[in-house]
Structure 1
Amino acid sequence: MNGGISIHIVDVASGRVAEGLEVRLERLEAGQRQLICQGRIGGNGLLPGLDECKAQCAVGVYEVSLQVADFYRAQGLTLPAVPFLDEWVYRFGVADTAQHYHLPIKLTAWGVSCFRGGA
């Protein structure tokens, strides 16, 4: 797999992929936001559509946003009116577009783990 960005999310509280979680990926450039891809995590744990967006992957700063509280409420979890994690935003940089940037995200309603995979 050359170049591009991929996102894989697992709900470690249930031991399953976070199918249905709403995700948005944007590039930040000169004070503006460019939407790269948005959608819901599929049954394979991946954000669909990122392969088609590979051409939009440029050197720069990106943000991935996850609608954590909405996801867990839809799963039937009772959360406080002000949840610990509502919308989780992760800012990262792409320095070399020839490399693949994979974001494996582990998620619960109370915590998140993410690192760069696919180097």
Structure 2
Amino acid sequence: MGRLTTHVLDAAHGCPGSSIKVELYRVEGAQLTLVASALTNEDGRCDAPLLQGDDYRSGVYQVQFSAGDYYRARGVKLPEPAFLDVVVLRFGISAEQDHYHVPLLISPYSYSTYRGS
């Protein structure tokens, strides 16, 4: 059975990104529907998949990471408005039986992602 997972790595500090708010939306045309919300744990991962079971289906999704809040909580001085406040990744799930893993590597001024395993 398929599932969607994520994790965050803080490239600026060389550690997992813990206590980062993650929100997952289903995208249908111009409408966003919130389907999951979580905080990353000490390892930068969510304790459970963001999507699985009957809710896991093909379509377009958007995951949002509250990176600015994370860096402010760490005491990092960010300009206002922050260059990267909320990192938004929009992606598609086409194979309902597959595990989709969407990791995020962040710093206050850059990010990178890929389809992991």
State the TM-score, normalized to the length of structure 2: 0.91
What displacement does 1:81 show? 1.2
One-letter identity of the residue aligned with 1:71: Y
- The CA deviation at 1:37 is 1.5
Amino acid at match of 2:52: K
TM-fit CA distance, 1:30: 4.5
Partners of 1:76 and 1:30 lie apart in 2 by 38
Which residue of the partner structure matches residue 28 of structure 1?
Answer: 27
**Deviation by residue 1:61-82 (Cα, 9 ceiling, x = unmatched):** 0000011111100100001111
Kept in 1: contact 2:25–2:62 (CA 8 A): yes
Between the aligned partners of 2:31 and 2:3, the Cα distance in structure 1 is: 21
- Where does the alignment leave 5 or more consecutive residues of structure 2 unmatched? none
Distance 1:82 1:31, change over 3 A: closer
Judging by fraction of residues, say which structure has more strand.
2
Confirm or deny: 8 A CA contact 1:37 1:50 kept in the other structure: no
The one of 38, 42, 52 aligned to 1:54 = 52
Aligned residues: 116
TM-score scaled to structure 1, two decimals?
A: 0.90
Runs of 4+ with deviation above 3 angstroms: none
Q: Indicate the RMSD between aligned Cα atoms, in angstroms.
A: 1.4
Contact map agreement 1:37 1:49 (CA 8 A) in 2: no
Q: Which residue number in structure 2 is paired with residue 70 of structure 1?
A: 69
Shift of 1:29: 2.2
**% same residue:** 32
1:41 aligns with 2:43: no
